[in-house]
Structure 1
Amino acid sequence: MKASEMFELMHGGPDAQGAVPHDFSTNGNACGPCPGALQALQATDASRYPDPHYLRLRERLARLHGVEVCRIVIAASASEFIGRITAAVSQGGGGRVRVPRHGYGDYLRAAKAWHFEIATADSAADLVWCCDPGSPLGQPQEDLMSRIGPLSGGATCVLDLAYEPLRLEGTLALSGAQRDTVWQLWTPNKALGLTGVRAAYAIAPLAAQDMAGRLVRLAPSWPLGAHGVALLEAWAGEAAQRWLAESLATLRAWKAEQRALCESLGWRCFPSVANFFCAEPDAVYTAGRAAALRQAGIQLRDTASFGLPGQVRLGVLPPASQQALQRAWIASRP
């Protein structure tokens, strides 16, 4: 990948032309938005600053995860935290990073901004990124447990759990004790079907007080606005967790239908445990083809920027959107 490409923002979702009716390019929970979270957002008083220390919010998140409040670090978004912890590692003298083979581009984008070198092994890295389930493939990260074990004593490991709440099969292959050795990054807006609200938090490892303090010092004042606070407070409540659990059954059914539809079009679908999967269409996914689909209200995520040319990533959507994809794909054939 060229250096100029490294800094190009590549993401699914609306672009300068706006949103489409059937957006398969992002991975939010298509059963959403979560009613309780949406109600909390609508009732938010945006005329006041939130508590700059977010004490009540951090207490709620700590109860949700069964950890001490001091381990909760608030972030404006996953991307903001990625940039901030990369800066913190650099400030501490680190300069080597290890990323998944296919993964979120902001890991490398932040590393390049701080002049990190790519480490050839986890044991040689100062900052190690893991993601389970990973994007774009939606698969568990290979050898996750063995990757965490050989880290050097001063290495910082971050486990991105953006899609853990939307895991449709299996469980995370880490014990509670193993989780306590890594940073856990949570971004509930996807699970709640409210990706337009930016809010995230991280759980610090047990022995990371110095790094946690450094991250707090590097944070801007009020990283979360009132709506971000409302989203995370709703997320930590029983109603939202119950709604999420119920939505997973619907997503499993929709995913099975969507895979079957894609296969009926002649596409090759790849394994996934999350609410999205990658597929190789029966014809080259050209810019012209993408434009024709967009004209028909369909948007897919080209995975070339993930290092997977010739494939697309599809978030699971309801049957009506799946049928729209089928019609548009057939109509766009030369």
Structure 2
Amino acid sequence: MEPHGTVVHGALDEAELAMLGLHAEQLIDFSSNINPFGPPATVLAALRALNPAPYPDRSCLRLRQQLAHLHHCDPAAVLVGNGANELIHLVARGLGQPDTTALMVAPTYGEYAYAANLVGMTIAEVRSTAADQFQLDRTALIAAIEHFRPRLLWLCSPNNPTGVALDTATILECAHVCARYDGWLILDRAYLSLTRDYTGCDPLDSIAVPRLIRIYSLTKSYAVAGLRIGYLIATPEVVSTIARFQPAWSVSSAAQAAALAMLADPAFLPTTLPQLWAASDELVAGLRQLGLNVWRAQMPFMLVQSTDATFTRRQLLTHGCVVRDCTSFGLPDWVRVAPRRPAENARLLTAWQVLIPKYAHTGDV
């Protein structure tokens, strides 16, 4: 946990940099899972043309209409938020109940447990391990749902930090078992649009699933994390219940304008995703050539094994490279690395090569 009690996250921390005498412009951020080939020019043009004087549209009507068209649903089934993070907390407040169980499929994003804790829920988890190549046993997962009967089941697929994605059949089975016990499956799809074979849609769009809430992020694949824009899809009744806890004007005019520009740009993702995956392939190969143990699944980001993740992060930081210490995920001997552009990846490989004699830990997952 960070000093003010919230969840540990990646990205640059200005307070930490000031303490170390470093400046953000000196560093390359490999800790944030963001498309390094963005933002799109269309988004930047939309932001330059924006008049910031009026209040933003409280209902995000135009954006909800476009998202509904994308997902083949009613605009009333869409709730736009100040990033996926706000939506996670809104779901916990709207549907969570004190003294009920929130089940986590770990290792995973820490904000789920934090949000559930804030509403007085009991946290349980089922965990995959490196020994099993971070693959979650379907039978064990269903058994955990049957045992804990969670009010909320949080499932990130593709998962952060492991990159593992569950198949549609498993997701549907989880949703149906949750529904049997009056629970909800909250499916975090923040990374779906970064998959290698992403087609621009979610296979779940065409399936009616009871008690399923899907959360999406627009900031990662389009590289606009500073704007904070995400959305969820559920039944209109559930959206109405959750939206009661959202402050007015939560989503800025800049975020709405940027999102509309992203959705109107058909070329950006098809152009940049192959570049991102080529950079990821090259970085994986380079790290393995250094003798490092690298795990990568359905995401371009990867886990790299180290004897001490915290120390490795600090040492790479002194060489101008920021990676994600995975200790907070319960993985103290792994760091997460998101690929950057080829020249930046080469700088990371050079920095890591200096550390190998003392810090590298090799071996097979």
Q: TM-score, normalised by structure 1?
A: 0.89
Other structure's SS at 2:68 match: helix
Question: Where do 5+ consecutive residues of structure 2 fail to align?
Answer: 18-22, 126-143, 359-365
Residue type of the alignment partner of 2:285: A
Give the Cα separation in 2 of the matches to 1:129 and 1:272.
20
8 A contact 2:157–2:165 mirrored in 1 = yes
Q: What's the counterpart of residue 214 of structure 1? A: 241
Q: What's the counterpart of residue 12 of structure 1? A: 10
Q: What's the counterpart of residue 45 of structure 2? A: 39
1:129-185 CA-to-partner distances (Å, cap 9, x unmatched) read: 111110001111374343223113432221111100001157867572155752111
The answer as to 2:112 corresponding to 1:107 is: yes
The answer as to 2:96 corresponding to 1:90 is: yes
Other structure's SS at 1:168 match: coil
Q: Which of residues 167, 181, 188 in structure 1 aligns to 2:195?
A: 167
The answer as to 2:273 corresponding to 1:268 is: no
8 A contact 2:84–2:230 mirrored in 1 = yes
Q: Any residues of structure 2 matched to 1:1-334 within 5 Å, and which?
A: 7-15=5-13, 16=15, 17=17, 19=24, 20-90=26-96, 95-119=100-124, 121-123=144-146, 124-141=149-166, 143-153=170-180, 154-169=182-197, 174=204, 176-177=206-207, 182-204=212-234, 208-237=235-264, 239=265, 241-281=266-306, 283-287=307-311, 289-332=312-355, 333-334=357-358
Q: CA deviation at 1:308?
A: 1.4
Give the Cα separation in 1 of the matches to 2:4 and 2:176.
30
Give the Cα separation in 2 of the matches to 1:313 and 1:262.
13
Question: Where do 5+ consecutive residues of structure 1 fail to align?
Answer: none
In structure 2, the CA distance between the partners of 1:320 and 1:180, relative to structure 1 (3 Å rule), is farther
1:230-275 CA-to-partner distances (Å, cap 9, x unmatched) read: 12212221x1x42112211111211110000110111111131112
Aligned-pair identity (%)? 27
Other structure's SS at 2:179 match: coil
8 A contact 1:170–1:273 mirrored in 2 = no
Other structure's SS at 1:313 match: strand
8 A contact 2:175–2:184 mirrored in 1 = no
Give the Cα separation in 2 of the matches to 1:166 and 1:80.
21
8 A contact 1:140–1:273 mirrored in 2 = yes
Residue type of the alignment partner of 2:241: R
Other structure's SS at 2:187 match: strand
Other structure's SS at 1:99 match: strand
RMSD of Structure 2 on Structure 1 (CA): 2.4
Q: TM-score, normalised by structure 2?
A: 0.82
